[in-house]
């Protein structure tokens, strides 16, 4: 949890400094690079980090360490594609957007390598993962304190990205015995193609659903309603940090006990209880926020946003109930069940918020979103409870046949065993 908080804090600090220093146009350009980063980061995690957590957490540290060159090679491949794409778009745009995207193209390999190394460490070296983010946070603070007058969007993007380099250096020293000069660019993506394809499909599905529902809010209820929805999402944003921290702890722990369904269920239930309690507590805090504080944080958007605090809080509580089921499915290493659950929940995620918006504007969206989250929670828990015993039997059989059994488990749960 502390690791995730440090990671989020470094991003938040750069955003705050950029917002204070840049013009509206400059901050918009910075935001463009920011959106590109989160899209690319999500894709890289789906292709590398999530597969590592879900499939390889149960391996011994030595064997997992030997995979490091191919893991970093895959990360650099993703970053190279992203950098070329960003640079191609950047040269077609006018400043300050061009400078922001060109800076992004330069720094994205460093940022993605740091993020992937966090995934490598979080499995059994949480202290090292925390150290990497603290090093980046300290470097960001030092550079931002020395920001020159008149620094533009490109400068802030470059400062944010390049300050990840010291953290990468620390990680390289910690794992130096596993590093080689040759980082195979495609070996990981080829060996894990079944799982990566399904996790990447999940990622695209989730992104499409989010963007379509937000577009529907703007089209049906107007830009002011969209601003109110975004304000309420930002207000509950810290819950995303808590959720991510719990998820990254539960998946590797769950993967190590995936052949013991009762233990894995208990772990999933405890994780769910923790995040639901955090969501309920945060809703109480949000409801107690005075109007003056809301206006200071969100400006004019708070006028409509205040009415969304309760329904969005309910949505966050209900949605948090999916945490254990989602993390449990990922801990099973069952990419097929995970993608199926995502696709099953997609219609509700799309239709219910849109219907709510049509019926009641921004408040209707929040109510529809809460209903969609309830459906999603049921879907993920059903997937976990139904597929858990089958995946456990497949894992136990593969382990008995091949000792460690991780490669065989990957094939059994992600590609060759039909469930249900």
Tell me if 167 sits within 8 A of 130, measured CB to CB.
no
Cα separation, 211 vs 85, in Å, equals 21
Helix (H, G, I), strand (E, B) or coil at 397: helix
Cα separation, 254 vs 257, in Å, equals 5
Tell me if 11 sits within 8 A of 141, measured CB to CB.
no
User: Token pair of 170, please?
Assistant: 């620390």
Main-chain dihedrals φ then ψ at residue 419, nearest 5 degrees: -115, 135
Q: Is the dihedral of CA 12, 18, 21, 25 positive or negative?
A: negative
Q: What do you get for the CA distance between the two ends of the chain, in Å?
A: 35
pLDDT at 169: 96
Tell me if 91 sits within 8 A of 109, measured CB to CB.
no
pLDDT at 299: 65
pLDDT at 413: 41
pLDDT at 294: 78
pLDDT in tens, the chain (420 residues): 666 767 777 777 787 788 778 887 887 788 788 888 988 999 999 999 999 998 888 888 888 889 999 999 999 999 999 999 999 999 998 888 899 999 999 999 999 999 999 999 988 888 898 899 999 999 999 998 888 888 888 999 999 999 999 999 999 999 998 888 889 989 999 999 988 998 999 898 888 788 788 788 878 888 778 777 877 887 888 888 888 888 888 999 998 888 888 999 999 999 999 999 999 999 999 999 888 887 776 666 677 778 899 999 999 999 999 999 999 999 998 888 899 999 999 999 999 999 999 999 889 999 999 999 999 999 999 999 988 776 656 655 544 444 444 444 443 344 333 333
């Amino acid at each position: 949890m502390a690791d995730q908080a440090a990671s989020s804090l470094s991003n938040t600090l750069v955003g705050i400094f950029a917002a204070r220093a840049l013009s509206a146009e400059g901050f918009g350009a910075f935001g463009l690079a920011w959106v590109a980063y989160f899209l690319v980061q999500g894709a890289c995690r789906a292709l590398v980090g999530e597969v590592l957590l879900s499939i390889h957490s149960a391996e011994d540290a030595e064997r997992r360490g030997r995979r490091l060159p191919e893991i970093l090679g895959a990360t650099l491949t993703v970053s190279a594609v992203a950098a070329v794409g960003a640079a191609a778009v950047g040269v077609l745009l006018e400043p300050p957007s061009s400078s922001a995207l060109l800076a992004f193209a330069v720094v994205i390999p460093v940022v993605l390598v740091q993020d992937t190394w966090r995934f490598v460490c979080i499995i059994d070296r949480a202290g090292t993962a925390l150290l990497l983010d603290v090093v980046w946070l300290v470097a960001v603070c030092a550079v931002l304190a020395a920001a020159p007058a008149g620094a533009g969007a490109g400068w802030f993007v470059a400062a944010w990205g390049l300050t990840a380099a010291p953290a990468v250096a620390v990680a390289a020293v910690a794992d130096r015995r596993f590093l080689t000069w040759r980082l195979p660019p495609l070996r990981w993506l080829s060996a894990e193609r079944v799982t990566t394809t399904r996790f990447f499909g999940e990622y695209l599905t989730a992104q499409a659903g989010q963007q379509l529902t937000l577009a529907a809010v703007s089209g049906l209820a107007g830009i002011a309603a969209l601003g109110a929805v975004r304000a309420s999402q930002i207000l509950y944003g810290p819950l995303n940090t808590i959720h991510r921290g719990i998820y990254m702890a539960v998946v590797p722990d769950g993967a190590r006990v995936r052949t013991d369904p009762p233990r894995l269920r208990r772990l999933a239930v405890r994780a769910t209880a923790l995040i639901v309690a955090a969501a309920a507590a945060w809703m109480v805090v949000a409801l107690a926020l005075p109007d003056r504080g809301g206006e200071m944080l969100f400006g004019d958007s708070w006028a409509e946003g205040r009415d969304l605090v309760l329904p969005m809080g309910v949505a966050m509580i209900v949605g948090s109930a999916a945490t254990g089921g989602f993390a449990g499915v990922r801990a099973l290493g069952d990419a097929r069940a995970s993608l199926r659950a995502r696709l099953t929940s997609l219609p509700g995620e799309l239709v219910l918020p849109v219907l709510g918006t049509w019926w009641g504007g921004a408040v209707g969206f929040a109510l529809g979103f809460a209903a969609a989250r309830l459906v999603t929670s049921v879907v993920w828990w059903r997937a976990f409870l139904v597929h858990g015993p089958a995946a456990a039997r497949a894992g136990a059989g593969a382990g008995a046949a091949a000792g460690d059994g991780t490669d065989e488990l990957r094939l059994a749960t992600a590609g060759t065993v039909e469930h249900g």
